[in-house]
Amino acid sequence: MAPRILLARHGQTEWSLSGKHTGRTDVPLLEEGRRGAKVLGERLHRAPFDGLPGVEVRTSPLARARETCELAGFGDRATDWDTLMEWDYGAYEGLTPEEIRSARHDWLIWRDGVPEGETLAEITARADEVVTWARSEDRDVLVFAHGHILRSIGARWLGLPIDFAARIRLNPTSLSILGWAYGDPAIESWNDVGHLVP
């Protein structure tokens, strides 16, 4: 069977709760985020995942992703990978979309990018690097990372331009699975937060 890539977004932080663009700022998880990470781990250690024996695990080195990985029970198997870091938002770091649109009313990150930060071409190249790595493996892989880089990976897995990522939302502590259908790249599940429902 061709390999799949399982995408785990980090747990809730103060900035993700308020909608602030959190790129390279190392914001810690909230208690809600820690609880969510543990519940995600419990899900991944039950059937049908059964702890994902043999899976290769990589995580963004930023604290919110790394801690989510550890609390989910995969920290001892994970390798830090800078390629999974969140988009460098440059001058827009720490701002909400509403704050940005007060100056640029029609701004859309997936079309317009960010000043003084990572370009659309650069984020595309990083997403492509993750996709190439995942497809080169002979087993499933699991990554812990951030909303925009994971959405970028989703778009590029499907072979679509980066702006497709605007149409695939991703909540904190969600689980998504990219796989195959009829021999072509496909989304098996996306933004699944069923484990967070009491």
**In angstroms, rounded to a whole number, what is the distance separating the alpha carbons of residues 141 and 46?**
17
DSSP label at residue 48? T
Predicted confidence band at 198 (pLDDT cuts at 50, 70, 90)? confident
Per-residue pLDDT reduced to its tens digit, 18-28: 989 999 999 99
CB-CB contact of 100 with 136 (8 Å): no
Q: Where are the domains of the chain?
A: 5-196
Q: Rounded to two decimals, what is the model's pTM?
A: 0.95
Class of CATH domain 5-196: alpha beta
Reduced to 3 states (helix: H, G, I; strand: E, B; else coil), residue 108 is: coil
Which residues are catalytically annotated? 10, 86
pLDDT in tens, 179-193: 999 999 999 999 999
Q: What is the pLDDT of residues 33-52, one digit of tens each?
A: 999 999 999 999 999 999 99
SS3 state at 4: coil
Burial of 58 (0-12, 13-18, 19+ CB in 10 A): buried
pLDDT tens per residue across span 58-100: 999 999 999 999 999 999 999 999 999 999 999 999 999 999 9
Q: Are strands 175-181 and 5-9 parallel, antiparallel or unpaired?
A: antiparallel
**Burial (CB count within 10 angstroms: exposed 0-12, middle 13-18, buried 19+), residue 8:** buried
pLDDT tens by residue, 106-147: 999 999 999 999 999 999 999 999 999 999 989 999 999 999
| Backbone angles phi and psi of 63, in degrees to 5 | -55, -40
Query: Within the chain, where are the H helices?
Result: 14-18, 31-44, 63-71, 97-101, 109-112, 120-136, 147-157
